[in-house]
Copies of this chain bind each other. A is one copy, B any other.
C-alpha cells in the first residue's frame, strides 16, 4: 500500500485543494509516492479538534493494519481560530493561548501514541491583515472591529513554535516567515486570513522542506510501480515482472 500523509487542520487545510492550494501541490509533487489525505475542518479550533480527533483518526480493528496503517507524516495546522479575540464577533471560536498550547500537546501525544514513528509537523497560524478582516467578516460584525489581530495571531504562533521545541518536532513558523515579505497582507492572504496563491506556494515549499529534513522526499521515497522512463521500449513487459 502506498504510504500516506494526513493534513489535519482548519479551513486553511480544508481549502488546500483549491486551485494552486498547498494540499493539491503536495499531492501533485508526491503523485507517484504518497497519498495526501485531507482532514481539514473549517472554523475548528484545537478544543474542537480534540473532541473529534478519535473520529478523524479512528482505531483499526485489532490485528488489522496496525503499524502498516501509520502515515509517514501528519501536518497539524491550527491556531487561526483559537486566536479569535474573546470580545469580538467570532468569540465562540476563541481558545485561550495557554489552553491552545495544552491542546497542541494533547494532539501531538495522541498522534505519537498511535503512530510512534510518524513525523508530526506543526504549522503556525498565518499573520492577519486586520483591514481585510473588517472587509471580510465571517459572522455579523456590528462593532466593525477585526475579530482577529495580527498581534494575537503572533502569540499563538509563538506558542506553537514553543510546543514544537518542547516536543522536539518540526514546525513551519508561517506567521514569521510571511511577514519577511513587504506587502504580505495582499501578496500571501486573500481575505486577511486565508491563503492567496503565493501564500499557498509558501506553505507548500515550507512543508516540502520540513518533510525533506525529516527524511521524506522524492529522492528517498519509493516510486509506486515502474516509471515510463524506466520501461525498456524494446521489451516493456519485463518492467512489470514481480520480484
A residues contacting B by CB (< 8 A) are: 1, 14-15, 17-21, 23-25, 27-28, 31-32, 35, 37-44, 47-48, 51-52, 55-56, 58, 60-61, 63-65, 92-93, 139, 224-225, 227-228, 231, 233-234, 236-237, 240, 242
CB proximity of A173 to chain B, nearest CB, Å: 26
Chain B residues with Cβ below 8 Å from A20 are 19-20
Pairwise interchain contact A56-B21, C-beta atoms closer than 8 A:
no
For the complex, what is the distance from the CA of A32 to the CA of B27, rounded to whole Å? 17
For A43, the chain B residues whose CB sits under 8 A away are 228, 231
| B231→A41 contact, CB < 8 A | no
- In whole angstroms, how far apart are the Cα atoms of A44 and B240 in the complex? 11
Q: Looking at the complex, which one of B28, B52, B224 makes contact with A24 (CB distance below 8 Å)?
A: B28
* B92 A52 Cβ-Cβ under 8 A: no
Which chain B residues lie closer than 8 Å to A24 at the CB level?
A: 17, 19, 21, 24, 27-28
With a cutoff of 8 Å between Cβ atoms, the chain B residues found around residue A48 in the complex are 231, 236-237, 240
Bound state CA distance, A211 and B64, in angstroms? 30
User: A18, B14: Cβ atoms under 8 Å?
Assistant: no
Check B14–A56 contact: CB distance below 8 A: no
